[in-house]
Amino acid sequence: MSTPYSGATPAGTPQGYAEPAPQNYAAEHPPGQPVSGNIATPTTAEGRPAVEGTSVGDLIGEVTRDLSTLMRQELELAKVEMKSEAKKAGQGAGMFGAAGFAGYMVLLFLSIALWWALAHLVGHSWSALIVAILWGVIGAVAFVMGRKKFREVNPKPERTVDTLQQVPGALKPN
């Protein structure tokens, strides 16, 4: 047996809000006239909505419904586009990762080849030390350049902050 606080409802009991009953606006619309909007507002010969006899509340309600539908559709479109672009970006990042690993392997084997080539001139121990020092210098230069770039980074989005500060002023009447 369920209690009112258990969250369970008996089978067949409606849960949440019911969908509004669909209204047949086509039946109210005179045949042969063009239709606009969700509620089948008749239009004039110039293509404008024929709003004589329609209350302001009905017109505002229609505009509100249209804007709500438009926003939902735009958000859904944005989600689909972002998902598609994210998939492309993920595939591109995977390819860059594969290219980076391949480049690492090339550098590894070129370093080993340099080590063996230098071994004929100065011996194996000294050639390994020379290759290690060469890579140490390259790493130190990359570190200094990277640190310089990070010091140039500004974590505060300046343009966004400026435009957001302008929004309240734009909403105030003049």
Question: Tens of pLDDT along 48-83?
Answer: 777 777 788 888 888 889 888 888 888 888 888 888
Averaging pLDDT over each range in 23-37, 47-61, 101-115, which range is the top one? Answer: 101-115
List the structure tokens of 38: 């969700």
Based on C-alpha coordinates, what's the Rg of the chain?
34
Question: DSSP character for 23?
Answer: -
Q: Could you tell me which residue, 96 or 158, shows the higher pLDDT?
A: 96
| Ranges 57-61, 72-76, 116-120, 152-156: which has the least confidence | 152-156
Q: Is 9 helix (H, G, I), strand (E, B) or coil?
A: coil
Closest by CA position to 37, among listed 71, 72, 69, 73 = 69
Alpha helices by DSSP H, the chain: 25-28, 56-122, 124-151, 158-171
pTM exceeds cut of 0.85: no
What is the spatial distance between Cα 126 and Cα 110, in angstroms, rounded to a whole number?
A: 17
Residue 25 has pLDDT above 50, yes or no: no
Q: Which residues contact 36 (CB under 8 A, 6 or more apart)?
A: 43, 49
Give residue 54's pLDDT. 79
- Mean pLDDT over all residues of the chain? 77
Q: Is 49 helix (H, G, I), strand (E, B) or coil?
A: strand
